[in-house]
Homo-oligomer: A and B are copies of this chain.
Amino acid sequence: MGITGAAGLVERVREGDVRALARAISLVENESPLRAQILASCFPYSGNALRVGITGSPGSGKSTLVDGLVHVLRGQGKTVGVLAVDPTSPYTGGAILGDRIRMQDHSNDGGLYLRSMATRGALGGLARATADVASVIEASGKDVLLIETVGVGQDEVDIVRLADVTVVVLVPGMGDDVQSIKAGIMEIADIFVVNKSDRDGADRVEKEIRAMQSLASQHGDWVPPIVRTVASAGEGIAELMAVIEKFGRWLDKDDRGRARRRAFWSERLREMMRHEFMREMRQRGFSEEGLAYYAGEVEAGRENPFELVPRLVGQAFDEDSDKYRDGP
């Protein structure tokens, strides 16, 4: 499958062929040689879905909440993609896939596409892979893309950065967890959900969020609202969807949404350039073996990395051809 093959595959993705979509995603995820062509072919047809990022601690009921949102959206006749990302699991699928057995009642619904992703281990790799897969799902023409991520660290912040709307899910009685997530998460939350709000302590969580908000940086004229839900009973889901739509309209005003996406692309382009640079170096003969050789020299104290690296990169700019092959 060459360039025509990649374009043909994306054509089938656009026509709603679910198996083509699954295949395109797998090729992109697995760094197939077709990855760049698939993504380039998807790009003109992506960017039209509303991207909703949903994050929170393990056990906060995000999956059930996402399930509820899917029901509401499908009831409105909207097509939905769900991308469930688990940065804590190095194994494919894992925990999230288990939860997804729940979603089987949607299995014959052509308007819904669900995909799970687990960490690849590479630095920044998961955020990049998530953005790639999101583009491919968008190219299939979904109206809304729900990006669900487990946890509350920098990974999750990077992953949800590609969302237009970020929903942070908290639950009463998490104690230390609420403490640990609040700092990094306060700035990215557009909407808070207090799920399992029939439990004791919902008022306290809400109060803590409000206290944090007064310290956190301002969000323009949007004060992140707090929506209470009991996702397992379907309570509050319609209200949450209404708040998400309200935020969507707020984004549309004064091109705020476009400014967000520009900021996202600034970061993404930088990351893509770094990655492309290493690919270009490899093509010029700077292999994994070359890297391992220099790592050995540094470990042995024979090369000072802070002198070596500027030298290697400077050479790439100064000359061309296969010079890196001489290294080891």
Contacts and interface: CB of A to CB of B under 8 A. Distances in A.
Interface of A: 36, 39-40, 43-44, 47, 57-59, 87-91, 94-95, 119, 121, 123-124, 126-127, 150-158, 175-177, 179-181, 183-184, 187, 258, 261-278, 280-281, 284, 291-292, 294-296, 298-299, 301, 304-310, 312-314, 316-318, 320
Contact of A154 (B119, B267, B298, B317): B119
Contacts of A184: 87-90, 119
Given A153-B154, A181-B88, A317-B320, A123 B119 contact: no
Instruction: Give chain A's interface secondary structure class.
Output: helix
Contact of A299 (B40, B87, B262, B307): B262
Contacts of A127: 123
Number of copies: 2
Contacts of A276: 309-310, 313
Contact of A88 (B158, B183, B304): B183
Contact of A123 (B88, B91, B124, B187): B124
Given A88-B152, A88-B180, A269-B305, 7 more contacts: A36-B310, A43-B304, A58-B180, A90-B187, A177-B177, A266-B292, A273-B309
A95 B39 CA distance: 42
